[in-house]
């Protein structure tokens, strides 16, 4: 059963057809992460979707994407080891050497422990036009399949999501009928300006799995209109709490600011005043 920790009401239609052109856009989202940095996460089945409070600069050259898709309107694709000239659906930029689009194994994934539960963590960077409804994008499909103990997966042009079901059977994890509404402008403007979303998926679903195929689709209720959408995963494991001397929620731990006590500030001020007085007496 699906539960959501935060579901915002869908904007109502304004009634008569004569008013439809003036009505705001309506998005039938299950999980809304568009309002602010650090919006309350949504629990959808065995996964947690969140847009974390972070200022990490991401994007190609900084992270190591395993799936890149791009197409105006709706866009979809899945991870593969096929070459750039033989990519399925709207998958982009394989580059022929494992960059941007590639498959990976369960053993490549690091873990995050949250409230005693171990998760695998996947990150998403979206690139949409800035401003108004154009900055919104819906995540409508996320499925992860177990391809078994194989070295590579060369699914290319002509293969579809149906192909994955026929080859690998039911997904280890599926977003199902839920969807997530995202906002490119939450983390400021510019490609790679912050992680737009991360999803924590219960690691117990992947027991005994080998190489994985990660499938995704966007734009069903809020269309794509610009650049690449890129997925990558956490390779290193992180603990349940931030280490001493830092604050925040793992993996986004930041150093605690060392703010001087009021008494220390007063002593510092007296020291500076004395220094200035000495300089004046010496004519410096």
Asked whether residue 237 carries a pLDDT value surpassing 90, the answer given is no
Task: Return mean pLDDT, the chain.
Answer: 78
Mean pLDDT computed over 209-232: 94
Q: What is the pTM of this model?
A: 0.75
Q: How far is CA 256 from the centre of its chain?
A: 25
In degrees and rounded to multiples of 5, residue 40 shows phi and psi of -55, 130
Higher pLDDT, 40 or 124: 124
Q: Tell me: the pLDDT tens digits for 125-183?
A: 899 998 888 999 999 999 999 999 999 999 999 999 999 999 999 999 999 999 999 99
Mean pLDDT computed over 34-39: 72
* Percent of residues in the chain assigned helix, strand, coil, to nearest 5: 20, 30, 50
Match 């290193």 to its residue by tokens.
236
Q: Tell me: the pLDDT tens digits for 70-104?
A: 999 999 999 999 988 899 999 998 776 667 899 99
Cα distances from 268 to residues 85, 260, 264, 281, in angstroms, run: 65, 10, 6, 20
* Closest-CA residue to 231 (of 138, 143, 123): 123
Asked whether residue 23 carries a pLDDT value surpassing 90, the answer given is no
Q: What does the pLDDT read at residue 11?
A: 30
């Amino acid at each position: 059963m699906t539960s959501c920790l935060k579901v915002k009401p869908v904007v109502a239609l304004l009634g008569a057809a004569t008013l439809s052109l003036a009505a705001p856009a309506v998005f039938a989202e299950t999980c809304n992460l568009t309002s602010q940095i650090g919006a309350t996460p949504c629990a959808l089945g065995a996964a947690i979707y969140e847009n974390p409070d972070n200022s990490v600069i991401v994007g190609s050259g900084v992270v190591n994407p395993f799936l890149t898709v791009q197409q105006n309107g709706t866009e979809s694709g899945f991870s593969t080891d096929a070459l750039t000239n033989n990519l399925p659906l709207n998958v982009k930029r394989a580059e022929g050497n494992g960059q941007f689009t590639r498959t990976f194994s369960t053993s490549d994934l690091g873990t995050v422990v949250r409230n005693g539960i171990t998760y695998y963590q996947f990150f998403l960077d979206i690139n949409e036009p800035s401003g108004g409804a154009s900055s919104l994008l819906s995540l409508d499909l996320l499925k992860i399949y177990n391809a078994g103990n194989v070295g590579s997966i060369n699914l290319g042009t002509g293969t579809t999501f149906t192909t994955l079901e026929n080859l690998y059977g039911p997904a280890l994890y599926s977003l199902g009928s839920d969807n997530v509404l995202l906002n490119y402008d939450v983390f400021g403007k510019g490609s790679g300006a912050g992680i737009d979303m991360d999803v924590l998926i219960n690691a117990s679903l992947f027991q005994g799995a080998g190489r994985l195929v990660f499938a995704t689709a966007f734009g069903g209720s809020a269309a794509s209109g610009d650049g690449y959408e890129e997925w990558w995963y956490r390779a290193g494991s992180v603990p349940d709490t931030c280490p001493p001397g830092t604050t925040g929620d793992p993996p986004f731990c930041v150093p605690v600011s060392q703010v001087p006590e009021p008494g220390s500030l007063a002593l510092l001020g007296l020291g500076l005043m004395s220094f200035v007085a000495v300089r004046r007496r010496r004519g410096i």
